[in-house]
Amino acid sequence: MHVWISACLGLVDLIVVCGNIFVLYLLASQPSLRSSTNSLVLSLTLSDLLLGLLILPFSIMQEHHERWLYGEIFCRAWLSLDVFLSTASIYNLLAISVDRYMAVRQPIRYPIISSKRFVRQMIAGVWLAALILSLTTLLVGREEDEKGLCSPLQFPDPFILASASASFLIPAVLMIVLNLLIFQRVHTSRRSKSFYLKKGKKNAGDSMRIHRGRTNSHSESLVKVCSRSDSMTGLDRKSTDNGRKKSIDSTKTITSEKTQRADSNGQFSLLLKGRGLAPSLRTELRVARTTSVVVAAFVICWFPFMTIYLLQVYDLCPTGPCVPSGLFTFTFWLGYANSALNPILYAAFSRDFRAAFRRVILHPNRPR
């Protein structure tokens, strides 16, 4: 039984490592993926890859042997590194949500706000905050486990509550709120642009009908003038007056046609500008959906573990151990599985990543 469990956990670790290596290759080799948001995706991918290389193999060995084999000092270092990389992965997701919120909230200023320098500072802040939180695990006492395991459940209850809040609860709430605000903003923008387009089409149609009516009336008057001039060819004075009327009416007709063309062209240009905003909104909505799916996967994967992690603090179980070992292992690895899901989700829901994936797989020798 332990062999099958170890094999399944090893498969998860393999997906984490291979998937994130492939995403790193796409980000490094495809110019179309080089953007400020994808710089944050690169940071997220790096944290997930390091988690698969440095943390998961030792967790698999502990599950297989049912005890920790590498001593107390390395256990401390391993737990600290686990907190560091897991928190960095979560904070990178939060940074991506903040970046998407700024892109939707300030679309005009966003290219200035999301400069390379700002993105680098955001990434540095993510890793620094994760490092500070992980270093606290080295300063806190840890109870010895009777089974000889190396587990975060051995930390004091106040530290577990503080660590769970800083690593998961607060970032999760912020990510959910930001993504709700993103969808609200995009939905509001789409409604306003739709109203603008409908209003622009209506105004354009009214102006064209008005000008068309004026043109017809002037044309009719011109025909009447011409017929009158033909019937009164012997009267020079009236002929002269009719010639003047003809000249005036012709001028009015030409002016009306120019006004019609100018107004219709103006309305048409406004409609084009309105339509030009639609692709940008569709792009922002598409990216927002991808980010929301990734955030939803993060919450689903980490919420069960954080729930039973906090059960130890409040000791809510009436009988028996509050956290059964099997349940803890399952939820612990469900959280780790989030690092395997991120590359799959980006490949499935991001159009840019899908296009880059097809180029690499189907046309590896085509110039990029």
pLDDT in tens, 132-157: 999 999 988 887 777 788 888 888 88
What's the pLDDT score for residue 282? 65
How far is it, in rounded angstroms, from Cα 65 to Cα 171? Answer: 34
**Mean local confidence (pLDDT), 158-182:** 90
Domain extents in the chain: 2-193+297-362, 199-271
Weakest-pLDDT range from 63-72, 287-296, 297-306: 287-296
Once rounded to an integer, what is the mean pLDDT over residues 299-304? Answer: 90
Range scoring the smallest mean pLDDT among 49-53, 113-117, 179-183, 329-333? 113-117
Q: Select the highest-mean-pLDDT range: 52-66, 95-109, 209-223, 277-291.
A: 52-66
Please give the pLDDT value at position 326: 78
Please report the pLDDT score of residue 315 as a whole number.
63
Tell me if 82 sits within 8 A of 54, measured CB to CB.
no
Q: pLDDT by residue (tens digit) across 178-231?
A: 988 888 877 776 666 555 555 555 554 544 444 444 444 444 444 443 444 444
Q: Retrieve residue 298's tokens.
A: 């993060």
Phi-psi sector, 71: left (phi>0), alpha (psi -120 to 50), beta: left
Architecture of the structural domain at 2-193+297-362: Up-down Bundle (1.20)
Q: Is the pLDDT of residue 366 over 60?
A: yes
Question: In this structure, are residues 76 and 142 in contact, taking their beta carbons and an 8 Å threshold?
Answer: yes
